[in-house]
Amino acid sequence: MTKNEALINYSLRIGDTCLILGQRMSEWCSNGPTLEEDIAMTNISLDLIGQARTMLTYAGEIEGKGRTEDDFAYKRNEREYFNSLLSERPNGHFGDTVARNFLQSAYFYHFYNALISSKDNMLSAHATKSIKEVTYHLRHSAEWVIRLGDGTSESKEKIQNSFDEIWDFVGDLFETNEVDRLLLNEGISVDQTKIQQEWNSTVTEVLTKAGLTRPNDGYMQTGRLEAKHSEYLGHLLAEMQFLQRAYPDAKW
């Protein structure tokens, strides 16, 4: 594997997770529990899709075969997507969405904070720009975790179940392979072990504040690095890619 091949894959991992979570959040548009929350979630969706655009465009530039951000978003199948398994989880009820977003945002927060020091100028610039958005995503979701956990007995039970059900998918966030090792030697990628420690302390701190129980780390579902996904990604792509698939290269 060459450095460029590794860098393309690394950029797709970031871009794909942003894109898929952004698409998930867009499903809340017009379905939010309150008007204010509807707009907040749609804002987060737009932030994430913006971040995805930068990373997918960058992957195309390094590849040098003329593939655009749209080619990456609309013309790849499930087994070519490198998003986290967490990001493709269905929205469920509001608490499910809050739990998923909190776990993924806490990851991005520590990931981008470390990526700012990357020797790759583009990744470093992307991290510097995105950290502001992600800091807000983390604040927004963490405040909701605390309110739902510390709310009524019903809200507490629901959000605890949300965390229990989604916990199998957090291990996938920290998996590494030769791409990580190659880029870490070059000072380009981040040390996932360090991210995991920081993520753990953020998650434990917020769950404790919310009066919730951190689920035990048991068997973890993985697959992100091999582009192996749950059954949900195919359905998400079917909706997201419908227009491109039905009317290839349609123009406004």
Partner 1 sequence: MSNIKDSQGDVWEVFVQSKPGLPHKHAGSVHATDKEMALQNARDLYTRRNEGTCIWVVPLNSIVSSLPEDSGSFFDPSDDKAYRHPTHYVMPEGAKHI
The residue ranges that bind partner 1 (CB under 8 A) are: 34-37, 39-40, 43, 136, 139-140, 143, 147
Closer residue to partner 1 in complex, CB, 187/211: 211
CB atoms inside a 10 Å sphere around CB 212: 21
Is the CB of 152 or the CB of 216 nearer to partner 1?
Answer: 152
The smaller minimum CB distance to partner 1, of residues 70 and 150, is found at: 150
Give every CB contact of residue 74 below 8 A, 6+ residues apart in sequence: 240, 241, 244, 245
User: To the nearest whole angstrom, how small is the minimum distance from the Cβ of residue 97 to partner 1?
Assistant: 16
Shortest distance in whole angstroms from residue 108 CB to partner 1 = 18
Per-residue burial over 16-37, b = 16 or more CB atoms within 10 Å of its CB, e = otherwise: bbbbbbbbbbbebeeebeeeee
Q: What is the number of other CB atoms lying within 10 angstroms of the CB of residue 147? A: 13
- Our CB check for partner 1 shows the closer of 29 and 238 to be 29
CB-nearer residue toward partner 1: 139 or 245: 139
Query: Taking the C-alpha atoms of 35, 38, 44 and 49 in order, what is their torsion angle to the nearest 10 degrees?
Result: -130
Q: How far is CA 65 from the centre of its chain?
A: 26
CA contacts within 13 A on the Cβ side of 237 = 20
Q: How far is the CB of 43 from partner 1 (least distance, A)?
A: 5
Compute the least distance from the CB of residue 149 to partner 1, in Å. 14
